[in-house]
Structure 1
């Protein structure tokens, strides 16, 4: 009799553990822990950028611009010079309203993709989000809305699936 009661208790515990594990939401796993977000936009049209890319003899300013727009700058969270360079190069800067931060945190979170996409072109990154915590640079996300591409630095989780659940469209609406 004791064995039957013990078996029933074990079965009830195992069943309740399975139910709670499957019904509990996992929640967002944010790429960045931040208290400030700066949004930079490139001051050139796509045609002007294409013209600069096609030039043989580029000025230092044009080379610097292309390192950010088409290159891998920044390469780490220690590389903060690119922020000053964006200001020198004429990027338009906007400090985003803290009311937007919960939505930004949600968009920049690890999740399973719901509708896989492939980048549609090789255009440059025209929008840059700089994430800060207590004034310190902790990461950035370079975004190409036209091509649905991104490049992140400082993210806490693998960002390979970013954009696969409609994040580009939602972020574009949020920033414009």
Structure 2
């Protein structure tokens, strides 16, 4: 009679375990279906019809010389503000592109496909960003988003230290900055260069 009880007990435990496992799997499938509904259409950060990319090829040696220089000119101070600080902190009234060009930032030739890929990277995310790097930013890459030839957004990117500054977006940019996104962006604008 004891063996009968243990045999039945094993069957009951097996059935309970099977029911729990199956119900957990169904619950996970339900969660996945709900996630698919949430992820459907993510908005771009900017309502733009054109994206321009500017790049500054500044060596670390020249960068540190500029930082250490005692009596900086106004133009050098402006470059430092663009390159490592948060200038501009809003959409400038004057032509920011002329300012970039005056500091030797070079404009890239982007294809329509490149612009679309860049727009996809600069879109609302439903994931949380990785922790930020505590290193100083070196904003070598600047993206200018335009609508009807007017600047509607600016994004400054430091690929080296995974830092960024986004100006003008009406959408929450909190999920931006995942390493794989920055790698994708780097490969679009500098496909022949190894990321440092």
TM-score, scaled to structure 1: 0.80
d(CA) in 2 for partners of 1:49, 1:39? 21
Post-superposition shift, 1:115?
6.5
The Cα offsets for residues 64-120 of structure 1, whole Å up to 9 and x where unpaired, read as 211111222112124444321111111111242112222112100111226623225
Post-superposition shift, 1:33?
1.4
Number of residue pairs the alignment of both structures matches:
158
TM-score, scaled to structure 2: 0.72
Partner of 1:140: 154
Where 1:84 maps in the other structure, the secondary structure is helix
Where 2:161 maps in the other structure, the secondary structure is coil
Rg larger for: 2
Partner of 2:167: 153
Partner of 2:11: none
Which structure 2 segments of 5+ residues have no match?
Answer: 1-29, 191-196
Greater strand share, structure number: 1
Where 2:108 maps in the other structure, the secondary structure is strand
Partner of 1:117: 131
Instruction: Compare 134-143 and 162-171 and name the one that shifted more.
Output: 162-171
- Written as runs of structure 1 = structure 2, the 5 A alignment for 1:9-158 is 22=34, 23-24=36-37, 25-113=39-127, 116-158=130-172
